[in-house]
Amino acid sequence: MRTVGVEEELLLVDPETGEPQALSAAVLAHAEREEEKQDVFEKELHDQMLEFATHPQSGMGELGEEIVRCRKEAGRHARETGCAVAALATSPLPVSPAVGMNRRYRWMAEHYGIATREQLVMGCHVHVSVESDEEGVAVVDRVRPWLAVLVALSANSPFWMGRDSGYSSYRNRVWQRWPSAGPTELFHSPERYHRRVADMVATGTILDEGMIYFDARLSPRYPTVEIRVADVCLHADTAVLTAALARGLVETAAREWRAGREPVDHSVSLLRLADWRAARSGLTGELLHPTTMRRTPAETVVRTLLEHVEDALGDTGDLELARTTCQELLRHGNGAQIQRALLERTGSLRDVVTECVRQTQAG
């Protein structure tokens, strides 16, 4: 069974006002004093962010338990330094992001200007193990049409700088400012993939291979395909769903490759439109159907995704989990819908943040 690992980025906020707090260094210092935890949490681009990474897991139950445990530990370390953590993909309240001052982040700030300073967005990256670069590139080529559905399911960033953005995942739109971000053309072979990455680095526009921000890429650190499209999810069970679907997509794509089935040759232009539609509508309207690229009700598209990965999910025992969680999201809403409902009920973005802090810690 393929292993799965998740990286989540969390927002550090004032527990009373909900305003983002640039305290990641203090939170990390507290975490590092507990030696067994020092490899879990990491610094991110902005001082208002904290990242953690799970271990590779084979079972979704174990993965979910680790996500909940890491969120609770992050919350505990944050409390000790006077802040709290929220699984929000953008800050609902206005913020002036503080860019970390290591060499890498200074280079990004110098080269990308305001795009770096405004890039305070929190994502959920899923790593799924693959046997080789050949299998990995075959997977990257074949999952492309389906990734926009993960954007819609995970959407958790409706607010930007104190206002409703009009998007379900405004993080997705901000992320696209990076010059290497977004969907890719077909590669067909590891040689072509690695040559494209080398050519991109050689332009000097990006610093190194770590700044290849494809929607799905071969991880430069692990023997995995890394799927990078999802918002950090308000609820841990949505993160587990994202991981289960990502593994299902990887396994389904690998089976198609081994069976000699060619990848769908949608253009990057169409894939970008599918991304935009998913970021705009989330689960509340229409999405572009992954095979026809025509507007289709979101519920139908989600059902099509589940049918596409049904065999793979069945083999890992995740089919019922995926069906149930998708139905819950369609019935009760994703993170973006929950945030908007909170604002409608309370009239206060501060109250939205403080309630999301509570829900983050509740698991």
**DSSP result, 91-105:** -SS-----B--SHHH
Residue 303 CA: distances (Å) to CA of 17, 51, 300, 307, 312? 40, 32, 5, 6, 15
pLDDT of residue 35: 55
Query: So what's the pLDDT on residue 56?
Result: 97
The whole model's pTM is what?
0.96
Q: What is the pLDDT of residue 252?
A: 98
What are residue 230's DSSP bridge partners?
Answer: 124
Residues in the chain with pLDDT < 70?
Answer: 35-38
What is the H or E stretch that residue 28 is in?
A: helix 24-32
- Which residue range forms the structural domain that includes residue 120? 4-362
Structural element, H or E, at residue 69: helix 60-80
Other CB atoms closer than 10 Å to residue 223's CB: what's the count? Answer: 16
pLDDT confidence of residue 144: 98
Which pLDDT score is estimated for 31? 87
Q: Which pLDDT value is given to residue 36?
A: 58
Question: In this structure, are residues 222 and 128 in contact, taking their beta carbons and an 8 Å threshold?
Answer: no
**CA–CA separation, 130 vs 250, rounded Å?**
8
Judge contact between 25 and 262, C-beta under 8 A.
no
Residue 329: its H or E element: helix 319-332
CATH of the domain at 50: 3.30.590.20
* DSSP assignment string, 223-261: SEEEEEEEEPPSSHHHHHHHHHHHHHHHHHHHHHHHTTP
- On the CB side of 225, how many CA atoms lie within 13 Å of its CA? 31
Nearest to 1 by CA among 108, 157, 131: 131
In the chain, the number of structural domains is 1
The pairing of beta strand 159-160 with beta strand 163-164: antiparallel
Contacts within 8 Å (CB) and 24+ apart, 224-227: 224/5, 224/127, 224/128, 224/129, 224/130, 224/136, 225/127, 225/128, 225/130, 225/136, 225/139, 225/140, 225/143, 225/250, 226/125, 226/126, 226/127, 227/125, 227/126, 227/128, 227/143, 227/147, 227/150
Helices (H) and strands (E) in the chain, counts: 15, 11
Structure tokens at 90: 């953008």
Rounded CA gap, 260 and 255, in Å?
Answer: 9
